[in-house]
Amino acid sequence: MSHAPRASPVTTSEAPPARRFEYAPAPESRAVVNIRPSYGLFIDGEFVEPTDGSLFETVNPATEEVLAEVSAAGPGDVDRAVVAATRAQREVWGSMPGKERAKYLFRVARIMQERARELAVLETLDNGKPIRESRDVDVPLAAAHFFYYAGWADKLAYAGLGPAPRPLGVAGQVVPWNFPLLMAAWKLAPALAAGNTCVLKPAETTPLSALLLAEILQQAELPPGVVNILTGAGDTGAALVAHPGVAKVAFTGSTEVGKSIQRSLAGSGKHLTLELGGKAANVVFEDAPLSQAIEGIVNGIFFNQGHVCCAGSRLLVQESVAEQVVEGLKSRLQTLRLGDPLDKNTDLGAINSPQQLEKIRELANSGEDEGAERWSPTCALPDRGYWFPPTVFTGVAPAHRIAREEIFGPVLSVLTFRTPEEAVAKANNTTYGLSAGVWTEKGSRILWMAQQLRAGVVWANTFNRFDPTSPFGGYRESGFGREGGRHGLAAYLDV
């Protein structure tokens, strides 16, 4: 593996001894994916050169290798894409019977499944996430969203959204880098099922899977202009959401950018949904099955390197079992494998960008400065690429920055509570409201907690579970609107 990161031991700490199996390397072959040296913009069914844009490089965060050169769309390119989408919506897609639209969506889903390995390897190369996750989560869930919404395309009148709901027109959709393909699927599938056409902008550090999706759309013979994909950075996104031809804006990303989009659209009459950040509480009661809860805590915060908006980044554990849970957690973390994301044994991959790594470092340092106790397992970090070890902070006070601010990395803040009321008060002590987890044996307590917790999604005795049939979204600073399920259609229909 010429691109496998080399490992050198750099991070150590006093850690309880743990049994760790040695595995032979099991790298997935990158030969399954053909990365072009350079990519244009996908407008009106074709890859075209930018007219007023520029070029930028996309990098493998695990090795710092340049993967490809990608186009950054300028305002003129945004206009071309919106014009193509408007024409396609009016002349083709908006008037096509739902059952015909469904056939295209089913076809896209099936081709995604056929090309799953290629999509997974490309996602891992461009994003840094472990192949196990891109293979078993991102790609199958992305295909499942197309399958699910294909089923709705001819049943919109029965979705409980009025007898004849109509599409909005052109949807301008901006997605982040943590689940590039999956977020594209969350945005595109319901919009297309409802009869809208789309202009999608992937994040600047992870454009490649959306560009492979564009090839899949060509393969599915989706009519030109129905989906347009514009790569570029924040200014491309800003030009897209501001374009007067866009009827609906769907944004997933940081709260800061979400707020600026909301301000810029005020009074424009455009429909808007925002999926923003989070600081979820994962609440463990003393009667919970603790070994399962520990697995849930690990999955809650270390899945996708903690680059998850709904990550369980605040562990609230009942005082009577706090020591036991933290010890068990530390022992479990000793067995996590960090390294080459293409290796099928890897649990924790690379941090997506140097900017994100810097943000995680800065917030973790603030935790130490404010008096919390920092711990990481004995862990070898590769010497090239962007890496951060799994980190646990104990002795965290609710006022600490690491208890309040979204770190978006593999860093867990542990707080304790004594009573259910205190757990609720601490869990809700956040400006966000995206997700939460509850671990307890008592069904009545699960229901009571779910009613008290101010979060869009509450998981019980599990965490980070996603399904296309289930609505997902937040409130307060986590945004508004729902993606997934029947509710996800409402955002794309004039009801």
Residues in contact with ligand NAD by CB under 6 A are 174-178, 201, 203-204, 233-234, 237-238, 241, 252-254, 257, 260-261, 275-278, 309, 406, 408, 434, 478-479
Q: Which is nearer to ligand NAD, 278 or 390 (CB)?
A: 278
Nearest CB to ligand NAD, comparing residues 175 and 427: 175
Query: How many other C-beta atoms can be found within 10 angstroms of the C-beta atom of residue 400?
Result: 20
Nearer to ligand NAD, 309 or 329 (CB): 309
Torsion angle of C-alpha atoms 470, 475, 477, 478, degrees rounded to 10: 0
Residue tagged active-site, from 118, 123, 204, 275: 275
The residue among 7 and 242 lying less far from ligand NAD, judged by its C-beta, is 242
User: How many residues belong to the chain?
Assistant: 495
User: What's the min distance (Å) between Cβ of 447 and ligand NAD?
Assistant: 25
User: Is residue 182 classed as helix, strand or coil in its secondary structure?
Assistant: helix
Token duo for residue 79: 């206009």
Q: How far is the CB of 420 from ligand NAD (least distance, A)?
A: 27
To the nearest whole angstrom, how small is the minimum distance from the Cβ of residue 340 to ligand NAD?
A: 24
Measured from the CB of residue 27, what is the shortest distance to ligand NAD in angstroms? 28
Q: By beta-carbon distance, which residue lies closest to ligand NAD?
A: 237
How far apart CA 176 and CA 382 sit, in angstroms, is 25
H helices then E strands: how many in the chain?
16, 22
The DSSP element (H or E) to which 67 belongs, if any, is: strand 66-72
Per the listing, tokens 């600026």 go with 260
Contact present, 210 and 96 (Cβ < 8 Å): no
Report, in Å, the least distance between residue 200 CB and ligand NAD.
10
Q: Which is nearer to ligand NAD, 230 or 290 (CB)?
A: 230
Tell me the C-alpha to C-alpha distance, in Å, between residue 441 and each of 212, 356, 415.
45, 37, 21
CA-based nearest residue to 360, from 282, 415, 413 = 413
Separation between Cα atoms, residue 458 and residue 370, nearest integer Å: 30
CB of 358 to ligand NAD, least distance (A): 12
Dist. CA 175–CA 179, nearest whole Å: 9
What is the dihedral angle through the alpha carbons of 197, 199, 200, 205, rounded to the nearest 10 degrees? 170
Q: Would you call 309 a catalytic residue per the annotation?
A: yes
The answer to whether 275 is a known catalytic residue is yes
Q: Which of 28, 118, 133, 309 is catalytic?
A: 309
Residue 436 Rama label (left phi>0; alpha psi -120 to 50; beta): beta
Which of 127/318 has CB closer to ligand NAD?
A: 127
Q: In what order do the strands lie in the sheet with 271-275?
A: 46-48, 41-43, 227-229, 197-201, 170-174, 248-252, 271-275, 479-480
Residue 339 CA, distance from chain mean position: 21
Residues taking part in catalysis: 275, 309
